Amino acid sequence: MAITELTAKEVTKKVINKEDLFILDVRNEGDFNDWKIEGDKVQHLNVPYFDLIDGVEGILDKLPEDKEILVVCAKEGSSVFVAEMLDEAGVDAAYLKGGMKSWSEHLEPVKVGDLKDGGEMYQFVRIGKGCLSYMVVSNGEAAIVDATRMTDVYTGFADELGVKITHVFDTHLHADHISGGRIIAEETGAKYWLPPKDAGEVTFEYNALEDANDVKIGNTTINIHPLYSPGHTIGSTSFVIDEKYLLSGDILFIDSIGRPDLAGLAEDWVGDLRETLYNRYRELSDELVVLPAHFMIMDELNDDGTVAAKLGDLFAENHGLNIEDEEEFRKMVTENLPPQPHAYQEIRETNMGKINPDEEKQREMEIGPNRCAVR
């Protein structure tokens, strides 16, 4: 027997297809509790590798015989070490190539649907971190929204489709992940757009993303219409694309809503958040398909791996859109907040261009879940 290697892409397929998977996570307890691979049919056993140095005999009776076993650690080394010991003990085991580091970085492109006149909408699911980004394709041109720092995935995907990236947008200044928008724009000659109200401290040139400043790509019929929707940040902007999709950024998610405190001003912005969710979005068509910039739990994934739902359904089912009392709403989004994302201040400064950490440092800053929502 030999130990096998599973890539983040292969594990992603298993999670999306709801296949049985037993994960032996050998990171320390704190790291495991903070962030792990999740899925409908994923079971976990957490035993740190340093408790297994003398052998795996003590855990053999806790491992299922009828399920695939995947050993996971932070970077890979310790999972190989443990998988080899399991192999010697006669247990088939695989390890996750690149560990949680590659899990955090994997992007899975999924087609959401067609646009008028042959265009297409793609969602890039960063399954390990819950970040969602988008590529709108029409007639040989592409626009990207909320790109992650894994820029070659987008440029490679555009090359495969044979389209030219002409516009790159960020719906807001991100606090949970490092934006790849500026780099993609520099590499491809595309225009980079940011909401000016979030860009007060940025150190580079950008195009001001403002209401009704429509952008057209490819066929003139594919219309990208920005809609000022503050609340998560003061500049947060949504997009209505092709009169069919609502890219809601970090304002509205499938099962939760945006948090107003990551730029430090929860009390000030809660009113904006309420106005956006309870008035501005109410004026839009219920038929729009909401495409958010994040998901928090695997239940938010549809069977095809997309994260999308009709705006009308969210008005009916999303708790954060159904709090009549303003004071109660204010309390929920200011008092009931999850911990802030790991290194979020440094991530904001990186996205402003104020600091330029190397790739290893960027990777480390992004480790962990995104935590951009309140439920």
Partner 1 sequence: MNADKVLDAKGLACPMPIVKTKKEIEKMESGQVIEIHATDKGAKSDLSAWAKSGGHELLQDTEEDGVFKFWIKKA
Q: Does 74 bind partner 1 (CB under 8 A)?
A: yes
Q: Which is nearer to partner 1, 29 or 114 (CB)?
A: 29
User: Which residues from 77-136 bind partner 1, rule CB under 8 A?
Assistant: 77-78, 81
Determine the Cα–Cα distance for residues 162 and 248; give it in Å rounded to an integer: 28
Nearest to 347 by CA among 362, 369, 367: 362
Q: Does 249 bind partner 1 (CB under 8 A)?
A: no
Q: Does 59 bind partner 1 (CB under 8 A)?
A: no
DSSP 129: T
CB 288 within 8 A of CB 313: no
Q: Is residue 143 helix, strand or coil?
A: strand
Which position among 9, 41, 62, 75 is part of the footprint of partner 1 (CB under 8 A)? Answer: 75
Which position among 17, 29, 186, 287 is part of the footprint of partner 1 (CB under 8 A)? Answer: 29
At closest approach, how far in Å is the CB of 366 from partner 1? 14
- Count interface residues toward partner 1 (CB under 8 A): 16
- Distances in whole angstroms, Cα of residue 7 to Cα of each of 81, 98, 105: 17, 8, 12
The piece of 49-57, 63-71, 220-228, 237-245 that touches partner 1 (CB under 8 A) is 49-57
- Each residue 332-371 as x (binds partner 1 by CB under 8 A) or -, in order, gives --------------------------------x-------
Determine the Cα–Cα distance for residues 90 and 93; give it in Å rounded to an integer: 9
Q: Is residue 196 helix, strand or coil?
A: helix
At closest approach, how far in Å is the CB of 106 from partner 1? 20
Q: Which is nearer to partner 1, 87 or 364 (CB)?
A: 364
Determine the Cα–Cα distance for residues 323 and 374; give it in Å rounded to an integer: 13
Q: What is the spatial order of strands in the sheet that 94-96 belongs to?
A: 4-6, 94-96, 69-72, 21-25, 42-46
Which position among 53, 60, 208, 355 is part of the footprint of partner 1 (CB under 8 A)? Answer: 53
Which position among 9, 17, 43, 51 is part of the footprint of partner 1 (CB under 8 A)? Answer: 51
Is residue 372 annotated as a catalytic residue, yes or no? no
Placement of tokens 């990777």 in the chain: 363
Catalytic residue among 3, 71, 73, 183: 73
Residue 192: strand pairing partners = 168
Query: Which residues are part of the catalytic machinery?
Result: 73
Binding residues for partner 1, per CB under 8 A? 28-31, 48-51, 53, 73-75, 77-78, 81, 364
